[in-house]
Amino acid sequence: MDHDPVVRNPGTDLDLDWVASVQINTSAVERRAATLPKRRSVKKQWQAAWLLRAITLIDLTTLSGDDTPSNVKRLCAKARRPVRPDLLRALGAEDLGITTGAVCVYHAMVKHAVAALEGTNIPVAAVSTGFPSGLTPLAQRLAEIRASVQDGAKEIDIVISRHLALQHDWQGLYDEIKACREACGEAHMKTILATGELGSLRNVGRASLVAMMAGSDFIKTSTGKESVNATPAVGLVMCRAIRAYEARTGHRVGFKPAGGIRKAKEALLWLALMKEELGDRYLEPDLFRFGASSLLSDIERQLEHHVTGRYAAYHHQPMS
C-alpha cells in the first residue's frame, strides 16, 4: 500500500498544563470498548485478508529466561516465513512477501537475531532499560540501549519507571524518556507504559502524552509480565491520546498493544479499534504493532480453517 512515510516524532517541550487537563470518563471508556466485538465482525475472505494483514503487524517475541541462540534463530525463520507456503498458495497470497513486523528479544539475543534476519527488511527490536521492572539505575539503562543499538537493533522497547507516573512526577518521567530517546540514536523507540500498574486510566492518558512529548516513536501498553496487560479500554485511552497529540503537534506516533493477545479474534478486535479511532493509515507496521508470541499460531490455524474447513492442531503451525 502506498502511503506517506512517517516522519519521526521529534517530541515537544513538556506541557504540564496539557498533562493536568487530561480527564477520563472511565465508565464511558469501558462502554465504548465493550461495543467493539459486538459491532465489528469480518467473515470469510475478508477475515482471511485481515488476518494476513495482522501477521505483518506482529512483533514476534521471545522473552524467556531460557532463550538460547538456537531458539531465537528458529523464531527468526518463522518471522521470515510466518505462514506455510501451501496455505499462502491457496489464499493467492504467495507473492505478497508476507513477513512479521519485527522480531523482539532481550539484549543478549540481539546479535543472533540480526544475523538470522540478514538479507531481509525485518528489524530486530530489543527490550531494554531494566525490562520488565525499569528499576535499574538510569545510567545502566541508557548503556543497555546503546549496547543494543550497537549490536544492530533497529527498534528499542523501553519501559518507564512506574513510580514516576504514580507520583505524578511528570517532569521526571519526561526527562528519563527523553534521555532514552537520545540514547536510541537512529533506532526507533517504543515506550512501554506498563498500564496495568499505573493505577487509573487517567494516569494512562497522562503518561501517554508525556511519553510522546519526550519523543517516543510508539507508545506500548505492557511488558507482558504484569497481571493485567493490553485491554481495549486502555487501548482506547492511548489511541485518543495519540489522536490528540497529532492534532496539536502534527506528529504521528505509533501504538503497540502487548501482553495477553493470543487469539486471532483478539487481533481482529484491535485492528477494528485502530481503524475506527485512528484510521486506515494506522493499520500499517510503521504505526501499529502487536507484541505477541502465540498469536501467530492461532492466526495460522484460522487461515487453514478458511482454506480447508478444518482446524489443525497447534503442532502443525510450529515456530520453526
Decide if 220 is catalytic: yes
pLDDT at 41 over 90: no
SS3 164: helix
- How many Å apart are CA 159 and CA 300, to the nearest integer? 30
Q: Quick one: pLDDT at residue 317?
A: 64
Tell me the whole-structure pTM to 2 decimals: 0.95
CA distance to 110, 145, 270, per residue, from 154 (Å): 10, 11, 25
Bond before 82 cis per omega within 30 degrees: no
CA distances from 19 to 172, 210, 248, 282 (A): 13, 7, 13, 24
| Percentage of the chain modeled with pLDDT above 90 | 89
Q: How far apart are CA 92 and CA 108, in angstroms?
A: 38
Bridge-partner residues for 292, per DSSP? 60
Q: Which of 157, 190, 217, 298 is catalytic?
A: 157
Of the two residues 4 and 213, the one the predictor is more confident about is 213
Helix (H) or strand (E) holding 177: helix 170-184
Q: Name the residue with higher pLDDT: 43 or 21.
A: 21
Candidates 78, 154, 190, 220; catalytic one: 220
Confidence class of residue 318 from pLDDT cuts 50, 70 and 90?
low
Cα 75 to its chain centre, rounded Å, is: 17
Which tens digit of pLDDT belongs to each residue from 44-63? 889 999 999 999 999 999 99
Bridge-based pairing of strands 188-192 and 218-220 is: parallel
Q: How many helices (H) and strands (E) does the chain have?
A: 13, 8
More confident residue, 318 or 80: 80
Q: What are phi and psi of 104, to 5 degrees?
A: -115, 125
Assess whether 154 carries a catalytic annotation: no
pLDDT digits (tens, 9 = 90+) for 244-300: 999 999 999 999 999 999 999 999 999 999 999 999 999 999 999 999 888 999 999
Its CATH architecture, for the domain 16-308, is Alpha-Beta Barrel (3.20)
Domain residue limits, the chain: 16-308
Residue 64 pLDDT grade (very low, low, confident, very high; cuts 50, 70, 90): very high
* 315 pLDDT more than 90: no
Q: What's the CA gap between 14 and 19, in Å, rounded? A: 9
Cα 294 to chain centroid distance, Å, stands at 14
Give residue 5's pLDDT.
Answer: 87
| Reported confidence tier of residue 2, pLDDT bands at 50, 70, 90 | low
Given a contact cutoff of 8 angstroms between Cβ atoms, the answer to whether 251 and 9 are in contact is yes
CB atoms within 10 A of CB 32: 17
Take residue 133 and report the three cell numbers written for it.
521492572
Mean confidence (pLDDT) of the chain: 94
Angle at the Cα of 137 from the Cα atoms of 132 and 141, rounded to 5 degrees: 60
pLDDT given at position 37: 77
4 catalytic? Reply is no
Q: 201 and 234 in contact (C-beta within 8 Å)?
A: yes
More confident residue, 3 or 225: 225
Q: Return the DSSP state at 258.
A: B
Per-residue model confidence (pLDDT) at position 186: 97
How far apart, in whole angstroms, are the C-alpha atoms of residue 5 and residue 120?
19
Average pLDDT over residues 210-233: 95
